[in-house]
């Protein structure tokens, strides 16, 4: 039913096509101007394959380096375990500022923290809009791409922000967020890449909110999907540069490299949630650039409605099968193969969708 509603929703299609027009040619330009990115992609792909083949070894190493630096480290087998750990660290009646994180969407973290009486704020503008609309992100990098300037102005009125144009609205959000950053007890982020050598968390962003959300509060929690682990800083940096280049914005405005700092308690939670045991190991190579979503003809029509509770689009179909064990919507794919062609990690999503279909048919 939702699928039919999505077809009626013109703003989803307009937003996606607007983004495709703005960004797709940028990816080609990035690759022409910086041809070494293709080599980086091959290097990161090979490095990730080694990590995935020996997860236990690398996870243990990652946890060890963090512990040696005074970081409290946890391993969560599933969403419930991760939520339990975060709830214990945060407690109740706190102000929590969050950086945009698909892994936190995957475990629906905000809902659980709010239920405990905490005030939780998404600090990325797009994610804040999604929070106010009580929706899931439309795209992994641009969560609110389907809203026009006028719609955003209307949505932001809910928290008392008024503005006649994008600049005034952005200024209003900056003022609003500054107060939250200054009074926040806890900051939460995801992780774009984790370096085992140094125990550092790499995060890219364009707004500057992540550095405030992760450095100002006295407690900082990083949620790390285990597939984000890389051997060293050099590979982690290459991975985040690729993520930005293949999305279309390169170089990223900010690269944050977070580690334990004095006067801040730091907690890192490594999340499995189906990753280690999945038969779709190839998807774990994903750097979540979101390009396959934008280029996909089905995503261009249905947006993130085509997917699970967090992830959508071609990569989202497989991520949903891994993390939610749900996959019925795989039958909507045209298997055109464009996602495989444009993927920096050369992930064969169509073949995995075929496998999903086979397993569903065999079950019935
Ligand atoms: S599957 Fe490939 S193109 Fe899609 S988000 Fe992951 S890395 Fe990017």
* Sole residue written with tokens 């949620």: 223
pLDDT at res. 33: 95
Diameter of the chain by CA atoms? Answer: 56
Question: pLDDT category, 5, cuts 50, 70, 90?
Answer: confident
Closest CA to 283 of 237, 339, 231: 339
CA distance 78 to 218: 27
Q: Which structure tokens are listed for 41? A: 């992609």
pLDDT at 72 over 60: yes
Please work out whether the CB of residue 291 comes within 6 Å of at least one atom of ligand 1. Answer: yes
Please work out whether the CB of residue 210 comes within 6 Å of at least one atom of ligand 1. Answer: no
Question: pLDDT category, 326, cuts 50, 70, 90?
Answer: confident
CATH for the stretch 2-7+278-363: 1.10.1060.10
% of the chain exceeding 70 in pLDDT: 99
CATH 3.40.50.10420 fits 36-271, yes or no: yes
Average pLDDT of the residues in 123-134: 96
Residue of minimum CA distance from atom 8 in ligand 1: 289
Cβ atoms of 40 and 250 within 8 Å: the answer is: no
Q: How far is the CA of 321 from the centre of ligand 1 (A)?
A: 15
pLDDT at 1 over 80: no
The ranges assigned to domains in the chain are 2-7+278-363, 36-271
Cβ atoms of 136 and 127 within 8 Å: the answer is: no
Strands, DSSP E only, in 20-146?
A: 72-76, 95-98, 119-122
Burial of 362 (0-12, 13-18, 19+ CB in 10 A): exposed
Please work out whether the CB of residue 286 comes within 6 Å of at least one atom of ligand 1. Answer: yes
Question: pLDDT category, 364, cuts 50, 70, 90?
Answer: low
Please work out whether the CB of residue 344 comes within 6 Å of at least one atom of ligand 1. Answer: yes
Q: How far is the CA of 245 from the centre of ligand 1 (A)?
A: 12
Count CB neighbours of 135 within 10 A. Answer: 14
CA distance 66 to 75: 12
Render pLDDT for 31-50 as a digit per residue (tens, 0 to 9): 999 999 999 999 999 999 99
Cβ atoms of 131 and 113 within 8 Å: the answer is: no
Q: How far is the CA of 335 from the centre of ligand 1 (A)?
A: 15
Question: pLDDT category, 58, cuts 50, 70, 90?
Answer: very high
Element (H, E) at 268: strand 265-271
Is-above-0.85 flag for pTM?
Answer: yes
pLDDT at res. 162: 95
Q: How far is the CA of 340 from the centre of ligand 1 (A)?
A: 8
CA distance 338 to 310: 22
Q: How far is the CA of 290 from the centre of ligand 1 (A)?
A: 6
Q: How far is the CA of 244 from the centre of ligand 1 (A)?
A: 12
CA distance 58 to 181: 34
Beta-bridge partners for 72? 267
Render pLDDT for 266-282 as a digit per residue (tens, 0 to 9): 999 999 999 999 999 99
pLDDT at res. 313: 95
Q: How far is the CA of 205 from the centre of ligand 1 (A)?
A: 18
Residue of minimum CA distance from atom 6 in ligand 1: 286
Q: Which structure tokens are listed for 226? A: 């285990």
pLDDT at 2 over 80: no
Average pLDDT of the residues in 252-278: 97
Please work out whether the CB of residue 269 comes within 6 Å of at least one atom of ligand 1. Answer: no
Considering the chain, what is the average pLDDT of its residues? 95
CA distance 19 to 165: 19
Render pLDDT for 96-124 as a digit per residue (tens, 0 to 9): 999 999 999 999 999 999 999 999 999 99
pLDDT at 131 over 60: yes
Render pLDDT for 134-179 as a digit per residue (tens, 0 to 9): 999 999 999 999 999 999 999 999 999 999 999 999 999 999 999 9
| Candidate from 249, 304, 340, 345 with most ligand 1 atoms within 8 A of CB, to mutate | 345
pLDDT at 13 over 80: yes
CA distance 50 to 143: 31
Q: How far is the CA of 287 from the centre of ligand 1 (A)?
A: 6
Render pLDDT for 214-245 as a digit per residue (tens, 0 to 9): 999 999 999 999 999 999 999 999 999 999 99
| Candidate from 42, 193, 245, 290 with most ligand 1 atoms within 8 A of CB, to mutate | 290
């Amino acid at each position: 039913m939702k699928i039919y509603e999505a077809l009626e929703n013109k703003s989803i299609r307009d937003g996606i096509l607007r983004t495709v027009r703005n960004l797709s040619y940028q990816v080609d330009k990035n690759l022409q101007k910086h041809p070494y990115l293709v080599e980086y992609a091959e290097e990161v792909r090979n490095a990730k394959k080694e990590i995935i083949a020996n997860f236990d070894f690398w996870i243990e190493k990652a946890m060890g380096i963090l512990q040696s630096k005074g970081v409290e480290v946890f391993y969560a087998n599933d969403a419930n375990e991760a939520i339990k750990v975060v709830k214990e660290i945060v407690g109740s009646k706190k102000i929590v500022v969050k950086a945009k994180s698909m892994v936190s969407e995957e475990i629906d973290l905000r809902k659980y923290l709010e239920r405990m009486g905490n005030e939780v704020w998404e600090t990325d503008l797009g994610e804040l809009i999604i929070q106010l609309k009580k929706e899931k992100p439309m795209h992994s990098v641009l969560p609110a791409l389907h809203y026009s300037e006028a719609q955003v102005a209307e949505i932001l009125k809910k928290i008392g922000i008024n503005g006649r144009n994008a600049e005034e609205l952005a200024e209003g959000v900056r003022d609003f967020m500054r107060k939250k950053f200054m009074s926040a007890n806890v900051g939460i982020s995801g992780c774009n890449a984790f370096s085992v050598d140094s125990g550092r968390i790499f995060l890219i962003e364009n707004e500057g909110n992540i550095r405030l959300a992760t450095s100002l509060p006295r407690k900082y929690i990083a949620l790390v999907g285990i597939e984000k682990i890389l051997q060293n800083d050099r590979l982690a940096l290459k991975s985040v540069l690729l993520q930005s280049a293949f999305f279309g914005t390169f170089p990223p405005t900010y690269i944050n490299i977070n580690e334990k700092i004095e006067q801040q308690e730091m907690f890192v939670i490594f999340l499995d949630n189906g990753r280690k045991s999945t038969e779709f190991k190839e998807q774990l190579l994903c750097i979540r650039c979101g390009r396959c979503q934008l280029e996909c003809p089905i995503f261009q029509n249905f947006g993130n409605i085509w997917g699970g509770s967090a992830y959508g689009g071609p990569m989202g179909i497989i991520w949903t099968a891994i993390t939610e064990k749900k996959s019925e919507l795989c039958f909507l794919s045209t298997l055109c193969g464009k996602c495989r062609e444009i993927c920096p990690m050369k992930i064969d999503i169509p073949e995995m969708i075929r496998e999903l279909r086979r397993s569903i048919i065999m079950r019935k």
